[in-house]
Structure formats: structure tokens, C-alpha cells
Amino acid sequence: MKKYFNYIALPALALGLVACEPEFDNDITENQDFYTSGSADFSSYVSVGNSLTAGFADGALYITGQENSYPNIMAQQFALAGGGSFSQPLVSDNLGGLTLGGMQITENRFVLATDAEGNPGPARLTGTPTTEVSNIVAGPFNNVGVPGAKSFHLVAPGYGNVAGVATGQANPYFARFASSANTTVMAEAVAANPTFFSLWIGNNDILGFATSGGAGADQAGNLDPSTYGPNDITDPNVFASVYSQEVAALTSTGAQGALINIPDVTSIPFFTTVPSQAIPLDEETAATLNASFAAYNTQVLPGLASFGVITAEEAAARQINFSAGANFITIQDEDLTDISTIVQGAPFNLDPITAALLSQLRQTTNDDLIPLTTAGVLGTIDEAYVGFLVSQGLPVEQAGLLAINGVSRPLQDQFVLTTQEQALVTAAQTQYNATIQALASANGLAYVDARTALQNVANGGVAFSGGILSSQFVTGGAFSLDGVHPSPRGYAFTANAVISAINNTYGSTIPGVDIGDYATVTISNDVN
């Protein structure tokens, strides 16, 4: 699509972006007797969870990411105090894509590249991946993190059935290491005979809803997860039930462990990189746009308020105004009153397409969250709407000005996470975390407050020996190029947070790692 203007540029890249391999400060053989396990037994450590456990990063699962997963980093440190070997279902390459029957079914990873105009940004690494889902790798494995898994998926038979991958009934990441077609993720975890475990699950139970801009549904009150869509919020009672089952299974043989809570979506750059005021306009363009919305602001909205169709407060919130400089994004908000049919008749007499355009129109506020993926849509031209306007007699240039996505042409609701949608996410997350904390307390397990840890990263950053770790996209160092999953440095920070909670609970003295020894993002020009 044609880009009408560039709305945002990535900050200048810091020298600290150069990738490096992890180095562990402590020599295992020299310090074997110095570090202690306390009352914990790390001889067989098993990690259970989703993409965050698997080491997913940059929009894909690849070998380097898996090697820098927080459980693998922790296992290296556990080895200082009696920890055993730690096996992972490694993929076949560093491209990150998956194939099924030779056909690529997931995309390759992002790397940082520059476009033809010299602007830095994420781009997919080119090449044909070699990880074939049907080539099942034999376990048992210590890391049973499954990208994409929600809480209830961990106890679902058939979630790793290769035959169900093509139809969406099974998970390709689990299918490639599941020991049988009808096994469950929890069964695989228990088969590894854990003496110690970590469980981090529940992020995806709200994250799909959030990253899709609230395109799913809040399933609170629906206790049948088989009826849920991929972007729905899991009912808190369903979460509590399956999470309790998972903890019971992992502790059934006396294993100790750590439970990790769910961070806020506002802690990740996927929701904090694109500002609500992302539309730069000059004075002339702003004036032209204001003229096109004049009747809407001065006649339609006051008229609807006077007839009692909408409140005066809603009429004020729906005003569309532009000025020279940075402007708020124009969106359709499904939580507003639908006026599309009302404004077609007297006294407004608008044509059906214009009426639909204005139906739930407003501009964003500073309280709205704009997903990172919206960046690819903002400022592009809606060519179909241009065609309609030209058919109505408008010159092409004027039609183009009135069809700019996010400006004169509102973005659909999935391109913004509104305050109402954020409230749904927060409500579910709060209940999930209450369940996690209660079960940690009831079972004598370590409770890891990842929510607070990532808030600290997001709010000013966290100091380490090499600088400050923050959630600033690309330059902050904590997150990979998908804006959701950590970088190796971010996973090292996570490992340290978990180790700290374990030490506090079990009296162990496991050392953390120097997060400055870990990479941030991968720079490459080998992309299209």
C-alpha cells in the first residue's frame, strides 16, 4: 500500500546492540562446593510453560533463542549446586520457521535491518527453514515450553498430534516433540521426573486478546474452553482449575518449584512504542482535514446529542480535530454508539458509506494503547475508499487526502487497545495472579513476581554492570524485535528474578548471571 507519510522512526541505534554469546562468570568445577541448594533438589529441573519458557524471540523459535531461554540459563546456574543435565527440543536452525510436509507454516525470525531509505526496523530473515514438524524428536525433555500454549492447552490430550496441526487442532511446536499423539504437555513434564520445576503459564490467556486490539471475546462465565476463539480471554475459573491441576501434577512426587505470575501488557514495547499522537501534519494539511470534518463536528454530533441519541460527553469525545504537529489517531471504537443508520436520514442525510465511516468515530487518547503492528497500517491509503470518492466526483489528490488510514480514514478497532479492553485484560490478569500466588503459598513454592520485575524495566529501567536495561524498543535491550518476547539479555534478567525468588524460599545460594554478557537484538542486512 502507498504510504502517505512516515509517522514514526526508530531511535538511533546504540553501540550496545552488537550481539555476543553468553559467558558465565562462575567456573563450575572451581565453585562446586561454594554454592548450595538449600532445601531444594535441582538434580532434575523441568520447566513448563509457553513461548517465554521455550526461548521464543524475534517472532520465532530458533536455536540461539532456545540456548538463551531463561530455564537453560537457570540450569547452568543450578549445575553449581548439584543440578543435572538440561535437555531441550532444539529446532534445526537459526531461521526459526517451521515446515509441515515440506510447506512452510510459520514465519522466519526478525532481524534488524534498514530499508531503502536507510530507516532501521525489523525484517524477516530470508531462507528456507529446515525444522520439519513431522520429524519428531525423542525426549523426555527438561524444557517443555510450548509457544502459543494457553493454560488449558497444557492438559489437553492431542495438543501434540501431528495430524491435527494442519487443521489448527494441535500445536506444531508441541507436535514435534510429543511422545505420542494423545499425550499432554503436563504428561511430558511429569515423565521427565522433576525434582524441581518452574511453571510460567497464563500469559497467552490474555495476550492474544490484547495483541489483536481486543478482537477476541472476554469468556468470563464460560467454563468450556473448547468453545473459545484464539484471541479470547480465558475465564478465571477455568484458569484456576487447570492451573491447580498442573501444580498438583508437578508436586505429586514431592518436587519443589517456582510459580511465575503474569506481567502487565503495558510493560512490553509491543504496546508502548507507537504513541497515541503518531500523526505528524503540517498546518495546510491539518486545515484541509478540519474542513472535511467541520459538518460532523458542528452539526452531526451536536444534533445527535440534542436528540438524545448520544450524550453530550460522548459528542465531545467524538470530535475530530487536527493541528500542525503530532496528532491523535482516528479510530472506530466499538464501545461507542453505532450511529451509522441514524445519520443516513434527515436531518443529516449522509450517504451510507460516509455514515458507516462516521459510525463509531473518535480519536485516540493518551490512555489508549497502540499495538506495534499498527505501525504498518498508519498513514497508508485505503485505495478502495479512494475509488469510491473518485466515483463521486472528487479529484484523485483530494480523495487520497480523505482516505489516509488513521487520519481521515479511521482504523478499525483491532488496531488499538482501548481503555475498556485494557480493563478486561487487567481484570483477568489480576485473578490469574491471585490464583498463582495462593497456590504458591499453599504448596510452599517460590512465588516469582514477574509483573513487578517487568514494571521496573518499563519504568526507568534496571541497572546492570553494562548500563541500563529498559523496555525501549530495540535500544532498551530487554526485548526482542517482536516487541513481546525478551532478548537473550531480557531472558537473563528473568532467570535472575526467578533464581532470587528460589533462593529466598529454599535457602539456596544460586548465583545470578551478569546480564551484560548476553546479546540484545540481531543486526543483519540479509533481508528483503
Decide which of 5 and 516 is more confident: 516
**Which residues does 384 contact at the CB level (< 8 Å), separation at least 6?**
none
Q: Which residue has 538440561 as its cell numbers?
A: 86
Same domain, 282 and 261: no
The predicted-structure confidence for 442-460, as pLDDT tens digits, reads as follows: 999 999 999 999 999 999 9
Phi, then psi, of 281 in degrees rounded to 5:
-130, 150
pLDDT of residue 523: 79
Contact 217, 233 (CB under 8 A): yes
Is pTM beyond 0.85 here? yes
C-alpha distances in angstroms, 404 versus 2, 4, 276, 371, 409? Answer: 10, 7, 16, 18, 5
Residue 481 CA to residue 461 CA, distance in Å, equals 18
Identify the DSSP state of 20: -
Indicate whether 99 pLDDT > 90: yes
What amino acid occupies position 48?
V
Grouping H, G, I as helix, E, B as strand and the rest as coil, residue 126 is coil
Indicate whether 21 pLDDT > 70: no
Indicate whether 9 pLDDT > 50: no
pLDDT of residue 331: 93
Q: Which three cell numbers stand for residue 259?
A: 510459580
Same domain, 166 and 292: no
Phi, then psi, of 245 in degrees rounded to 5:
-60, -40
Let me know if residue 190 belongs to a domain: yes
C-alpha distances in angstroms, 491 versus 43, 52, 418? Answer: 22, 8, 29
**Which residues does 231 contact at the CB level (< 8 Å), separation at least 6?**
208, 209, 212, 215, 216, 217
User: Among residues 395, 415, 435, which one ends one of the domains?
Assistant: 415
Indicate whether 159 pLDDT > 60: yes
User: Among residues 400, 415, 430, which one ends one of the domains?
Assistant: 415
Let me know if residue 528 belongs to a domain: no
Query: Crossing angle of helices 419-442/236-251, nearest 10°?
Result: 30
Same domain, 174 and 63: yes
Decide which of 341 and 309 is more confident: 309
Residue 6 CA to residue 27 CA, distance in Å, equals 50
Query: Crossing angle of helices 70-78/488-506, nearest 10°?
Result: 50
Residue 448 CA to residue 10 CA, distance in Å, equals 33
Phi, then psi, of 355 in degrees rounded to 5:
-60, -45
Residue 303 CA to residue 90 CA, distance in Å, equals 63
Same domain, 298 and 249: no
- Name which of 229-238, 415-424, 514-523 the model is least confident about: 514-523
**Which residues does 284 contact at the CB level (< 8 Å), separation at least 6?**
none
Same domain, 496 and 390: no
Let me know if residue 404 belongs to a domain: yes
Let me know if residue 94 belongs to a domain: yes
What proportion of the chain, given as a percentage, has pLDDT over 90?
74
The predicted-structure confidence for 373-417, as pLDDT tens digits, reads as follows: 999 899 889 898 899 888 888 888 888 888 889 998 899 888 999
Let me know if residue 218 belongs to a domain: yes
* Number of domains the chain contains: 2
Query: With bands split at pLDDT 50, 70 and 90, how would you rate the model's confidence at 29?
Result: very low
At CA 381, angle to CA 376 and CA 382, rounded to 5? 105
Contact 328, 275 (CB under 8 A): no
CB atoms within 10 A of CB 223: 10
Contact 105, 98 (CB under 8 A): yes
Same domain, 38 and 62: yes
pLDDT of residue 352: 64
Same domain, 248 and 291: no
CB atoms within 10 A of CB 421: 25
pLDDT of residue 8: 38
Q: Which residue has 532498551 as its cell numbers?
A: 476
pLDDT of residue 157: 97
What proportion of the chain, given as a percentage, has pLDDT over 70?
91
Indicate whether 502 pLDDT > 80: yes
The predicted-structure confidence for 249-291, as pLDDT tens digits, reads as follows: 999 999 999 999 999 988 999 999 999 999 999 999 899 889 9
Letter string b/e over residues 228-243, b meaning 16 or more CB atoms within 10 A of that residue's CB: beebbbbbbebbbbbb
Indicate whether 18 pLDDT > 50: no
CA 227 to chain centre: 23
Let me know if residue 8 belongs to a domain: no
Same domain, 408 and 451: no
Give the pairing type, strands 98-100 and 103-104.
antiparallel
Contact 370, 276 (CB under 8 A): yes
Let me know if residue 438 belongs to a domain: yes
Indicate whether 143 pLDDT > 90: yes
CB atoms within 10 A of CB 165: 22
Residues of the domain holding 172: 15-271+418-517
- Name which of 63-77, 119-133, 430-444 the model is least confident about: 119-133
The predicted-structure confidence for 184-221, as pLDDT tens digits, reads as follows: 999 999 999 999 999 999 999 999 999 999 999 999 99
Let me know if residue 285 belongs to a domain: yes
Mean pLDDT of the chain: 90
Indicate whether 150 pLDDT > 60: yes
Residue 263 CA to residue 432 CA, distance in Å, equals 11
Same domain, 310 and 436: no
- Name which of 217-231, 489-503, 510-524 the model is least confident about: 510-524
Residue 64 CA to residue 361 CA, distance in Å, equals 45
Same domain, 410 and 453: no
Same domain, 108 and 124: yes
Give 143-192 as a 3 state SS string. EEECCCCCHHHHHCCCCCCHHHCCCCCCCHHHHCCCCCCCCCHHHHHHHC
Query: With bands split at pLDDT 50, 70 and 90, how would you rate the model's confidence at 110?
Result: very high
C-alpha distances in angstroms, 422 versus 85, 232, 336, 418? Answer: 41, 13, 16, 6
Q: Which three cell numbers stand for residue 22?
A: 553468553
User: Among residues 415, 436, 458, which one ends one of the domains?
Assistant: 415
Q: Which residue has 491471585 as its cell numbers?
A: 434
We report the CATH number of the domain holding residue 102 as 3.40.50.1110
Residue 352 CA to residue 388 CA, distance in Å, equals 12
pLDDT of residue 399: 84
CB atoms within 10 A of CB 342: 18
Same domain, 230 and 320: no
Query: Crossing angle of helices 419-442/204-211, nearest 10°?
Result: 170
DSSP codes of every residue in 437-502: HHHHHHTT-EEE-HHHHHHHHHTT-EEETTEEEB--TTTSBSB-TTSSSBPHHHHHHHHHHHHHHH
Residue among 498, 478, 502 at smallest CA distance from 490: 478
